[in-house]
Amino acid sequence: MTTLRVRYQTLEFGTTDIHIRSLRDNQEFSDDEGAAAALGISSASWPIFGIVWPSGEVLAHLMAEFDFAGKRILEVGCGIALASLILNHRRADITATDYHPGVADFLNKNTQLNKDRLIPFVRTGWNDALSDLGLFDVIIGSDLLYEAEHVELLAGFINQHAAAQCQVILIDPGRGHHAKFSKKMLSLGYSHSQNKVQVHTQEGRQNFSGQILRYQRI
């Protein structure tokens, strides 16, 4: 069986430390049973879920101060799920989803590293059959619009799981698809605002320069 090389790190969010077990780098790969291949996940894209990306750090910092009282929150395409981990540490009602079959194991181990309760997780794709996730008051995600086809799929998935009154917060590093996505969300009845953000990530690997996209239906 292929042995993955991992790394351990601690990221600071104000006075809160979040401990992370992630892949050592984006060259790691392990799919001995073919679960990822069966889902159409290539060896090149396999490691993407297991890295702490700048967009994920930006979202996590927002969630470190987010007022979640009385709100059910869903993280879409969570990957290493840094935002979910900080919300869970703050005792928010957070559920995570991702398409990748390797996410659940890392998510469970990371919640244990932080001595928190396990985060409810559902492995699902944006065009999968209707799930039993239910509806959410807040839906969050980071760096989700990789391809043009993701615009329709993501908007549909979000709308499927949005409560009648729902706030959506997405971090987009600028892959060229957010304008079409915003147009689609407007057509579904959401208002839209966005603002640019430039931050220096904690690890200093790369700076983030992108957009915070906000959508709301009231």
When divided into structural domains, the chain yields a total of 1
Contact assessment for residue 184 and residue 215, using Cβ atoms and an 8 Å cutoff:
no
Tell me which residue has tokens 């605002």.
193
At 128, the pLDDT band (50, 70, 90 cuts) reads: confident
Q: Look up the CATH number of the domain holding residue 160.
A: 3.40.50.150
Contact assessment for residue 136 and residue 95, using Cβ atoms and an 8 Å cutoff:
yes
Q: What percent of the chain has pLDDT over 70?
A: 96
Q: What are phi and psi of 77, to 5 degrees?
A: 55, 50
Is the pLDDT at 143 greater than 80, yes or no? yes
Residue 206 has what pLDDT?
A: 60
For residue 22, tell me if it sits in a domain.
Answer: no
DSSP assignment, residue 96?
E
For residue 135, tell me if it sits in a domain.
Answer: yes
For residue 35, tell me if it sits in a domain.
Answer: no
Of 42, 41, 46, 39, give the one whose Cα is nearest residue 23. 46
| Across 149-161, average pLDDT | 96
| Across 19-41, average pLDDT | 94
List the single range of 39-53, 157-171, 190-204 with lowest mean pLDDT: 190-204
Residue 164 has what pLDDT?
A: 97
For residue 93, tell me if it sits in a domain.
Answer: yes
| Across 82-100, average pLDDT | 98
Q: List for the chain the helix, strand, coil content (%; round to 5).
A: 30, 30, 40
At 205, the pLDDT band (50, 70, 90 cuts) reads: low
The tens digit of pLDDT for each residue in 33-52 reads: 999 999 999 999 999 999 99
At 202, the pLDDT band (50, 70, 90 cuts) reads: low
Residue 63 has what pLDDT?
A: 97
| Residue 149 in tokens | 């086809």
| Across 191-195, average pLDDT | 96
> In terms of residue numbers, what domain contains 181?
48-217
Residue 204 has what pLDDT?
A: 54
Contact assessment for residue 159 and residue 182, using Cβ atoms and an 8 Å cutoff:
no
| Across 20-38, average pLDDT | 94
For residue 58, tell me if it sits in a domain.
Answer: yes
Is the pLDDT at 12 greater than 80, yes or no? yes
Biggest CA pair distance of the chain: 50
